[in-house]
Chain A
Amino acid sequence: MSSPARKIALVGNPNCGKTTLFNALTGLRQKVGNYPGVTVEKKIGELRSLHGEKIELLDLPGTYSLSARSDDERVARDVLLGDLKGTDRPDAVLCVVDASNLERNLYLVLQVIDLKLPVIIALNMIDVLEEKGQRIDPDALSQQLGGTPVIPCQANQEIGIVDIKAALSRPPHRAHRRWNAGDDVERILEKSAEILISRNHPNAAAHALTIISDRAMRDRNHPHCIDHALLGELESIIQSEAKSSDLPIESRIVAARYETIGQISAAAVRGGDAPMELSFSDNLDATLIHPIKGWLIFIAVMVTMFYSMFTLASVPMDWIDGGFGALGEFVGNRLVDGDLKDLIVNGIIGGVGGVVIFLPQILILFFFIGVLESSGYMARAAFIMDRLMSKVGLNGKSFIPLLSSYACAIPGIMGTRTIEDDKDRLVTILVAPLMSCTARLPVYVILIGVMTPNADAVTRTSLMFGLYALGTLGAFFFAWIFKRAFSKNAASPFLIELPPYRMPGWKLVFQQLLDRGLVFLKRAGTIILGLSILIWAASTYPKPADPDTPREIALEQSYMGQAGKIIEPVVKPLGYDWKIGSAIVWSFAAREVFNSAIGIIYKVGDDAENTELENALANAKNPDGSPIFSFWVCAGLLVFYVFAQQCIATFAVVKRETASWKWPIFQVVYMTSFAYFAAMAVYQIGSRFFG
């Protein structure tokens, strides 16, 4: 009978090469799931020890400290404390340490040792350290850490992997706590542990240490404060035992840890006495963050990324469109006419095609994000843009997701994963669709054309630009409102590391591409497909008795058409009749559907050329002879399309990224209500006062 797999957790700072090491150790034997209640990915990989025994490696989110400040970090901390339901406390912890950044990386190592977990250290990036002219003596380091095994490695070149596997195969070694902040602190920790024991709290000492060393857990105003009764008891211990000091207790603990780290560093690091020359990264930064050159390069990078999403993506998107169209025809020719064929061809194949078509933009954006992140430039982009973003309460990391949303909000929203602060991330997700995406373009083009029939290209382009500006202003406005509503207490601090520039890890980038693409297809795809079929059904049933009924009459009689009639009174104040109402309802599936819907309704077919459609709309008249698509009706309609959330694909992705129904629904409600009232205001005020 085989013993259950050994469970080893993988921890490390961001940018320490943890994921590269994880991939090197586990290959493709990885599984991705979710932790309950949060949008943190649970990544488990499998490897075999040197004795052939199965080892389960749990890749925990990267963190600088176990004093957690985000969902990601709370998951890492809770797993190590054994508090996370559904995930066993690990038997040992593999700490990945960036050798070129030893002191800061050792902080987390000391914290893990404090939790009485056996630790194995993978001393990664020894090549970078050598470039600095330094060396670390692994035996000296191990000795300083109480005998904790230290294995030098270079994960991106797969150097040292076998040695790590060997270390993972040996019996684990537990070291004692390496620091001491004073007798009074020791007494406080002891007495706190006693209180927890008396409350039957498992793993009392580790929990006591975690609570005492984390200010946020003892802050009554903080959402993650511990139970107030317990807090009261701990506070009186601290009050009575702490020697008067101008430092709060958590700072004394941090200081004690770094004092030990200083000693460890002095004993284990060799070299580095030569005067520090400016490194390659320093020199590169001098250009890339330069007030003038830096901006130009930044704009060039952003434009390239944006342009690729807009234009490069259109090539594969056309292939996909054509491919699915051909598939639809192929299948259609082999099926008997009837509802089943219609469902398969238009509902299912059309629906799946409608999902897959997003793939090129998602893959292109994530390719860029992967390269920018991996090379270290992403942190510089956030650094440069932070001042602008902070004016609305966001931070620099929101810039790229929002910029990408101009092409398509879906990859933009998926890209908010790089934002650690949960509230910032939520706000960014909520406002991303206000950045006018490419799907709105066909609608803008046709309505601007009808609205200003004799205008020249300059006027039309300016109007188009005005619409984009309107959306952007809306995004900043709502970001500001939401940020204030969600973060009543304090502004979230902006603290980012600017890692040294590195060549992007191509293997890593492509693996992440694959991950993101598959996740999108599986998770979002199922919802999008479901809703597409529903919309197909609503626009097909009930069918008219006479099969030769023209399409626009059939549409009128379907549920979709009836819906249009029902909401007619609601859209009347905006100047619309049931037909426009129907087209709007229909385009909630995807905005560009507005053009096909309007085409069907006004009898020019769903594939009409722009000029044909424009003429039909311009000539459409009310019973009293006035044009239906008057200037102000069009203006209001444009404003509606700028602000309304009309994309089920976005809905599906937001649901996935926020792990709830609440936020995507809220997003549809707030955006569409605002769109409604804004469109009404434009139409009513415009047509009354400006004729």
Chain B
Amino acid sequence: MSDSPVSLSEVSPGESASVVAMDPSIAGMQRLQEMGLLPGTAVKVVRRAPLGDPIELEVRGYKLSIRKAEAAGISVRPA
């Protein structure tokens, strides 16, 4: 299992990861952090929407949905 960071949008449904870094220039990143998804946080990709986008994440015990474009700006280390 590779240890190098990948982008959250590449993580498959059902897999978990840990956040490494988040691109601050992408709109919505601060709000995402304030909702509990920040460097060091554990995140699980639950599913992709039936049309492929957005994706559903599990963070700190609750479910959050973001678009693949936002997820692409988040680098994570797969668990």
Residues of A within 8 A of B (CB): 64-65, 67, 69, 100-101, 103-104, 107, 132, 214-216, 246-248, 250-251, 254-255, 258, 289-291, 294-295, 379, 383-384, 386-388, 390, 396, 490-500
Contacts and interface: CB of A to CB of B under 8 A. Distances in A.
Contact of A386 (B26, B38, B54): B54
B51 A388 contact: yes
A493 B30 contact: no
Main secondary structure of the interface of B (DSSP, over half): loop
A500 B51 CA distance: 22
B22 to A, nearest CB: 8
Nearest to B50: A291
Contacts of B49: 289, 383-384, 386-387
A383 B31 contact: no
Contacts of B28: 492-495
Contact of A383 (B26, B30, B39, B65): B65
Contacts of A491: 27, 69
Nearest to A265: B60
A386 B55 CA distance: 10
Contacts of A384: 49-51
Interface in B40-54: 40-41, 47, 49-54
Given A215-B24, A383-B54, A496 B47 contact: no
Q: Closest 5 A-B residue pairs measured CB to CB?
A: A493-B28, A387-B51, A498-B63, A65-B34, A490-B27
A184 B70 CA distance: 30
Nearest to A98: B62
B32 interface: yes
Nearest to B68: A387
Contacts of B72: none
29 contacts: A64-B34, A65-B34, A65-B35, A67-B31, A67-B34, A103-B36, A104-B36, A104-B62, A215-B24, A248-B24, A251-B24, A251-B30, A251-B33, A254-B38, A255-B38, A295-B50, A383-B49, A383-B65, A384-B51, A390-B67, A396-B54, A492-B28, A493-B31, A495-B28, A495-B35, A495-B70, A496-B65, A497-B63, A500-B63
Interface residues of B, number: 35
A87 B24 CA distance: 34
Interface of B: 21-22, 24, 26-28, 30-36, 38-41, 47, 49-54, 56, 60-67, 69-70
Given A101-B62, A255-B38, A387-B49, 16 more contacts: A100-B61, A103-B61, A107-B35, A251-B38, A258-B36, A295-B50, A386-B54, A386-B67, A387-B52, A387-B54, A491-B69, A492-B28, A493-B27, A493-B66, A495-B31, A498-B63
Contacts of A69: 31
Contacts, number: 122
Contacts of B51: 384, 386-388
Contacts of A495: 28, 31-32, 35, 64-66, 70
A647 B79 CA distance: 57
A107 B33 CA distance: 10
B30 A494 contact: no
Contacts of A386: 49, 51, 53-54, 65, 67
Among A294, A390, A396, A495, residue most surrounded by chain B Cβ atoms (within 10 Å): A495
B54 A254 contact: no
A390 B70 contact: no
Contacts of A255: 33, 38-40
Contacts of B50: 289-291, 294-295, 384
Given A248-B24, A498-B56, A67 B30 contact: yes
Contacts of B33: 251, 254-255
Contacts of A101: 60-62
B74 to A, nearest CB: 12
A290 to B, nearest CB: 8
Contacts of A498: 56, 63-65
Nearest to A286: B47
A215 B30 contact: yes
A493 B34 contact: no
Contacts of B64: 495-498
Contacts of B30: 67, 214-216, 250-251, 254
B39 to A, nearest CB: 7
A247 B50 CA distance: 35
Given A103-B61, A254-B38, A495-B32, A289 B67 contact: no
